[in-house]
Amino acid sequence: MRRELACGALMMTVLLTGCSKQDQQAQQQGVLLRGQYQAMSGWSGTFRVSAHLGQQLYEFALEGTAQQEGETVLTVVEPEWMAGVTARMTDEEAVLEYDGAGMTLGTLNGDGLSPIAAIPEMLDQVAQGYIAQCSWAQEGEDTFLELTCRDPEQEQGAGTEYTMWFAPDTFALRMAEVQVDGATVLTVTSDDFTMEMNEDESTDHADLDGDPSGQSGA
């Protein structure tokens, strides 16, 4: 993925001075995107995942659904030897289940982030996390809105970073990667990500700093 038009860290929803018109447009779209993800009642999709765990590379496909007031469920559907490994997550707990000969895949970082649970975690980052970069990116003939989320107390390239690419018209997640201390440990693609929206939610005041109250995320 070739990144273009980056404009530095976004500390507030106010557009940064000195940015080009394209940068400002990307940041405005980022505000709208965050509002959409805060207003979701749920989502569903199929995800193709490549996870780098030590010297091992695992490639698999997941089917997932989530409800705001219910469970997030992600189940491995390919390859056959991994099929049935399921993560069930609520606000209170996360449980990894195994069907048949399923196996643990290990974790991506020191906080116990699993390759399966990384998908809902990155979507939570879009809604509530600290967005360090919002810009346009070009891949072939396609244009995407690119967001990078990380711990605001960490420098770029340190800790866990989530970079995601969204369709600019629907804000649907199309690609993502997770980096730990500058090394890519997970990549994700989705062709059918779908958002379910809360019609009574207002997104006019959504911000990019990781705090829906409007306070600084730094």
pLDDT at residue 175 in the model: 97
Question: How many other C-beta atoms lie within 10 A of the C-beta of residue 121?
Answer: 20
* Higher-confidence position of 199 and 121: 121
| Residues 75/97, Cβ–Cβ less than 8 Å | no
Number of H helices, E strands in the chain: 2, 12
pTM over 0.95: no
Looking at the predicted structure, is the pLDDT value of residue 160 above 90?
yes
| Residues 190/181, Cβ–Cβ less than 8 Å | no
pLDDT band at residue 68 under the 50/70/90 scheme: confident
- Encoded tokens for 148: 């990078």
Looking at the predicted structure, is the pLDDT value of residue 49 above 90?
yes
CA distance 86 to 98: 6
CA distance 130 to 40: 18
100, exposed or middle or buried, with CB in 10 Å at 0-12, 13-18, 19+?
A: exposed
Q: How far is C-alpha 117 from the chain's CA centre?
A: 11
pLDDT band at residue 69 under the 50/70/90 scheme: confident
* Higher-confidence position of 182 and 5: 182
User: For 71-205, where are the alpha helices, taking DSSP H only?
Assistant: 118-128
pLDDT at residue 83 in the model: 84
* 127-to-25, 56, 80, 81 alpha-carbon distances in Å: 19, 31, 33, 34
Looking at the predicted structure, is the pLDDT value of residue 10 above 50?
no
pLDDT at residue 203 in the model: 42
Contacts of 138 (CB under 8 A, 6+ apart): 2, 4, 144
pLDDT band at residue 62 under the 50/70/90 scheme: very high
Max Cα distance, the chain (Å)? 57
Residues 175-212: tens digit of each pLDDT: 999 999 999 999 999 999 999 988 754 444 455 665 44
CA distance 113 to 107: 5
pLDDT at residue 103 in the model: 45
State mean pLDDT over 46-74: 90
Looking at the predicted structure, is the pLDDT value of residue 17 above 80?
no
